[in-house]
Amino acid sequence: MNPREHVRNFSIIAHIDHGKSTLADRILEYVGAIDKRHFHAQLLDDMEIEQERGITIKASAVTINYKADDGHTYTLNLIDTPGHVDFTYEVSKSLAACEGALLLVDASQGIEAQTVANFFLAREHNLKIIPVINKIDIAGIDIDRVKEQITDILRLEEDDILLASAKEGIGIKEILERVVQTIPAPSGDDNNPLETLIFDSSFDTYKGVVIYGRLFNGQLALGDTIRMMQANKICTVEEIGVFRPQMTSTKALHCGEVGYITANIRDPKEILIGDTITLADHPAQQPLPGYKKVKPMVFCGIYPVNAKDFAELKVAMEKLGLNDSSFVYETETSQSFGYGFRCGFLGLLHMEIVQERLEREYNLNLVLTTPNVVYRITTRDDKVMEVDNPAKLPDPVQIKLAEEPFVRAFMIVPTNAIEEVCELTKQRRGEFLANDYLGEERVKVIYRMPLAEVIVDFYDKIKSVTRGYGSLDYEFDGYNPTKLVKLDILINGKICDAFSCLIHKDKAQAKGRLLVEKLRELIPRQLYLINLQAAIGGTILASEKIRPVGKNVTAKCYGGDITRKRKLWEKQKEGKKRLKQVGNVEIPQEAFLAALKI
């Protein structure tokens, strides 16, 4: 067993697509932690969806041994983190378990919005930061320009910057040497009372809940009786071990180490991420500071297409909630779909990932309603309520004040695209705050804007007007008064609550028109006329019709007996009228997905 001086805990942070997972792969290969047979790209991204999209969603830990130039063998605990703005919470959890971080910057793209956000996140946790310029093997890059950005924007020393190519395996040894030389060893003592921070967990069918923890004090052995300090649950340790990258059981975990614990816990709800584990008979005085509870920004309804799948969906939600503590949900009912859940997410990508995981990992067929942000409503009798669902909006007569969440958006864009970006932000009700030129080619622009305008496709639009070079990060910035209305979609006079949404009054007409036009394209024709309308209260804003499928009832009539034909047409008209009264319109899944994108 290595003494604590030879343990290093560090994570890799960067903007999305700057090469974190590839660097983790190269480090594992360099130290010989995996053999060639088991190797595949993005080795720590073990979810199928991470492999496909080429992004990291969950932070993942691995323990490796490295023989340094000073002759000592070091135990390195490496945590690979996500880079997308929706998963910042995963990054902050990982940083709490570390003493240092490798900050990766793409040699061709330079510093991006999430690079800056993650840098400050690491600073908040008082970590030792090692800047690394990655992808130096790409042709036509300007390393001096990127070095200048790192020294100007992040105020880091030029001498500290390392150069690497994770793809080609260049600079890996230098990075590992810098990690063992400059990142401090974990503090704490084996003889103190046990303090283990739970930074993640997952569910195993055979072992129950698997807790991922970092020991800040004390040590833990098989058979110890432990207590979760916030959940106040007592249980016995059945297995402990480390990730190499597969789970490898050990006899004990010591102060400063990162590993996993199982204790035959069957109910996912009993584990709180950020809780502290201590020994039941020799407890710590107080729990470690956990994480600030993350607030979901976007809400939508998730319903099973088949009502009898509701129980399965409930179990799937509980297991997913264990693995993703930033995802919240509660039961709700809808006129159109019956029983389902109101779910909260950190952003739209987070929502998409959760839907995809539920459908794949738990084999469910789901319908999602239009996403909404959380509005704050003050009623005439001065009651303040939070509304995350169009159905909860009080009668407009009762509303004294409606407020919507605003964010401070930080965009780093090329200077030649600044006009288009400002124009786009103005259309989204953005208010200019400041700009800051980062060299000749790039500028940082700060706007204050409504969150509702950011969540759907703002990031995509920024990417397209800047030809892929723009980046976005945002933080919550309070509530502002707004003109809020509830937009309903009526199908043959009946409100379809799956398409209802809360929206700013000035945007309602355009969105209503787009929605009914899209639905006209996507809903298949029936035997009767379908009326589609977008309305606010009793006011119709837009309307479309889907013509019925014609059936030639007079095909069997030959000759010129017009009275007989008329009789058949009248009969058909009556039948269609009756159909229209009882007919339920079948709405395909694509229609709901298209509505989310508008």
Per the annotation, binding residues for GTP are 17-22, 134-137
Residues contacting 463, CB < 8 A, separation 6+:
470
SS (H, E, C) 87-145: HHHHHHHHHHCCCEEEEEEECCCECCHHHHHHHHHHHHCCCEEEEEEECCCCCCCCHHH
CA–CA separation, 50 and 356 (whole Å): 11
Decide if 465 contacts 421 (C-beta within 8 A): yes
DSSP notation for 208-240: EEEEEEEEEES-EETT-EEEETTTTEEEE--EE
Decide if 247 contacts 61 (C-beta within 8 A): no
CA–CA separation, 256 and 77 (whole Å): 10
CA–CA separation, 249 and 221 (whole Å): 11
Decide if 188 contacts 215 (C-beta within 8 A): yes
Residues contacting 257, CB < 8 A, separation 6+:
7, 63, 75, 77, 214, 215, 242
Burial class of residue 551, CB neighbours in 10 A (0-12, 13-18, 19+) = exposed
Q: Is 455 helix (H, G, I), strand (E, B) or coil?
A: helix
Annotated binding-site members: 17-22, 134-137
Paired tokens of 552: 């030639």
DSSP 380: T
Within its chain, how far is the Cα of 114 from the centroid? 14
Paired tokens of 558: 């030959």
- Find, among 360, 357, 361, the residue nearest to 349 by Cα: 357
Cα distances from 16 to residues 54, 95, 472, 473, 567, in angstroms, run 10, 17, 11, 11, 68
